[in-house]
Each structure stands twice: as C-alpha cells, then as structure tokens.
Amino acid sequence: MFLPEGVEWALHCGWLLSHLEPGETLSSRRMAEFYGLPPAYLSKVLKSLVRAGLLEAVTGPRGGFRLARAPEEITVLEIVEAIEGRSPLFRCMEIRQRGPAPATKSDCLRPCGIAAVMYQAESAWRNTLRETTIADLASHASSGSTNRARGWLRSLPER
C-alpha cells in the first residue's frame, strides 16, 4: 500500500499543532520551515484539513492554523480521509471473469478469497486509524521530539 507524502505531512502538522497553547496559531510557512517542506504544497494539504473541519484557519497578522477540535477528538483516519478521500484501497476488478476460462457471473455472487482478505485487511487498517487520535500520536512521541517541538514553538516571535 502506498499513501502519498501529503498524508504524512498532514499527520505531522496535526501532531505539531497539538503542542500549541489554547488560542495560539501557527502559520503554514512556519510548519513548512519546521519540517523542511515546500510551503506551497503544504498549504494545499492544510486547506484540505480545513475543508474537512479538522483545522481552523485564522486570518490576520497573528493568523495561522490550529486544531478545530481537541487532539483527543481528531482521529488519524479523519486526517487520512481528508487528504486521500474515502474510496476503498482495494477495488476488485473481477478478473476471474476474464481470460480463456472465465468464471460465470453466478459463480461470482460472493467475493473471492482474494477480495475477502483484502477487504478484511482494509477494515482492520481503518479501525486502527479510527481508534488512534492526534493525542495518542503526541503521547507516544519520544520526549526528544516533544521537547524539540515545544522548544521551537516557544522560540518563535509572538504568533
């Protein structure tokens, strides 16, 4: 399975924003700076998170982004779906009905074993992401990562 880098960026930005004090914001430029990412592309990722209701965009001289809900209320699945959509990862093309010895439609009323295991795996994957929140990501981060992020945030001029 391959997820585009925008998913990783979105998750890391959610994690970083979870370290802000209540009411604070962080600009997309600063997030791009912290992770060494291209600002224009990161802005598109952040806009997707705003459209999904996961981030709030604040305008003005001290504007930027912040989480739209508490970190405990934003799941990893919501972030993945905000970037990638809700389409299934596996799409059965019923190739067993092709070729020189095709199965009949009546033989294909139920998913084959391959499709069944793929659907089961995707369900387990989505359930894990649904059960994991931004707060979980923050609590499982190393103290070094957390200290680095918080120290960097404190070093910024007033936001």
CATH number at residue 15: 1.10.10.10
Q: Which of 11-20, 123-132, 149-158 has the lowest mean pLDDT?
A: 149-158
Split at pLDDT 50, 70, 90, the class of 120 is: very high
Q: How many domains does the chain have?
A: 1
105 is a domain residue: no
| Secondary structure of residue 33 in the 3-state scheme | helix
CB-neighbour burial class of residue 64 (10 A; exposed 0-12, middle 13-18, buried 19+): buried
Split at pLDDT 50, 70, 90, the class of 159 is: low
Domain housing 43:
5-86+133-155
Query: Does pLDDT of 106 surpass 60?
Result: yes
109 is a domain residue: no
148 is a domain residue: yes
103 is a domain residue: no
102 is a domain residue: no
107 is a domain residue: no
**pLDDT tens-digit readout, 14-66:** 999 999 999 899 999 999 999 999 999 999 999 999 999 999 999 988 889 99
Return the pLDDT at 125.
Answer: 96
